[in-house]
Amino acid sequence: MKIATWNVNSVRQRTDLVCDWLRAQQPDLLLLQEIKCEEPSFPGAAFAALGYQSVVVGQKSYNGVAVLSREPVEVMHRFLPALPPTPDGAPHQARYLEVRWRGVLFGNLYLPNGNSGGEAGYAAKLAWMEALLHRARELLAADEDFVMAGDYNVCPTDADFAPGTLSGADALMRPETRRLFQALRWAGMTDAVRALRPREKIYSFWDYQAGCWPRDMGLRIDHAMLSPRMAERLEEALPDRMERDKPQPSDHVPVMVTFSS
């Protein structure tokens, strides 16, 4: 079982790159974030030509998540179920899609960045993380097999960013952010990449600005968190960093995770 998560920063701008990557890697599931379009303009036909069907939770301009799969998946949730309704009753931003495939739940998530909108924007990020933690605890209590993967916009430790990329005030590494991420681990989940590579320098994102990629000034903010039995099945987990070297790349690279059977 081979899955991947990838923030593509506009699926319409990156359709050819995603197709090339699907052809080369042949994952069973690909979880996409920041597709930045609504379902009618999602390039599903290009993926269908490669044998992948799509489930899309779209939004105009920003956000948006989708799951590509070679086999049908069962859609469980199109938004994070524990997230409180918006004050004005507006629909939630398109940041979560949960599907079941071969008995495993896959939560595809795009967590709010939290650096815009001042303290209210940061509070919204924390509320989103609380809801994610609630969902994880619920699934753990139900003894489900599951994977929560995507762009967490969380830099878990000081080993997960290159010097000079983040300030201590950045929402990606503020103490409350890290505390809530670690709470997923204390609840019983496993950070797939770090479980296999506790000390390596590993990044999944390099900003477009300031020559971050050629200077390898990256961050590790795309994660796959595993329930206990999925952690036992874990075989490999690593960002495909060379994808960042392609022409017109996303600022994030795919993180691939493989499981036994």
Partner DNA sequence: ATGTCTCTACTATAGAGA
- Interface with DNA (CB under 7 A): 9-10, 12-13, 36-37, 60-62, 112-113, 115-117, 121, 208-211, 248
Taking the least distance from each CB to DNA, the nearer of 101 and 128 is 128
Closer residue to DNA in complex, CB, 37/55: 37
d(CA 170, CA 244): 23
**Paired tokens of 248:** 């017109």
Nearer to DNA, 38 or 144 (CB): 38
Residue 205 is which amino acid?
Answer: F
H or E stretch covering 74: strand 74-77
Which contiguous run of DSSP H or E holds residue 127?
helix 118-141
Q: Which is nearer to DNA, 144 or 170 (CB)?
A: 170
Q: Least distance (Å) from DNA to the CB of residue 147? A: 22
Do 230 and 146 form a contact (C-beta atoms < 8 A)?
Answer: yes
Give me the least distance between CB of 219 and DNA, in Å please.
11
- Residues, the chain, total? 261
The vertex-222 CA angle with 217 and 227, nearest 5°, equals 145
User: In terms of Cα–Cα distance, which of 88, 84, 90, 151 is closest to 123?
Assistant: 84
- Measured in degrees and rounded to the nearest 5, phi and psi for residue 222 equal -105, 120
The vertex-56 CA angle with 192 and 108, nearest 5°, equals 15
Tokens 């709470």 locate to 183
Nearest-approach distance from CB 58 to DNA, in angstroms: 10
- Minimum CB separation of residue 62 from DNA in Å reads 6
For DNA, give the closer residue by CB, 53 or 113: 113
- Please, which residue, 37 or 253, has the CB nearer to DNA? 37
Output the smallest distance, CB 184 to DNA, in A. 21
CB of 45 to DNA, least distance (A): 17
Q: Min. distance of Cβ 30 from DNA in angstroms? A: 18
Kindly tell me which of 44 and 112 has the beta carbon lying closer to DNA.
Answer: 112
Going by C-beta distance under 8 Å and a sequence separation of 6 or more, which residues neighbour residue 133? 180, 183, 184, 187
Which candidate, 197, 259, 253, places its Cα nearest to that of 226?
A: 259
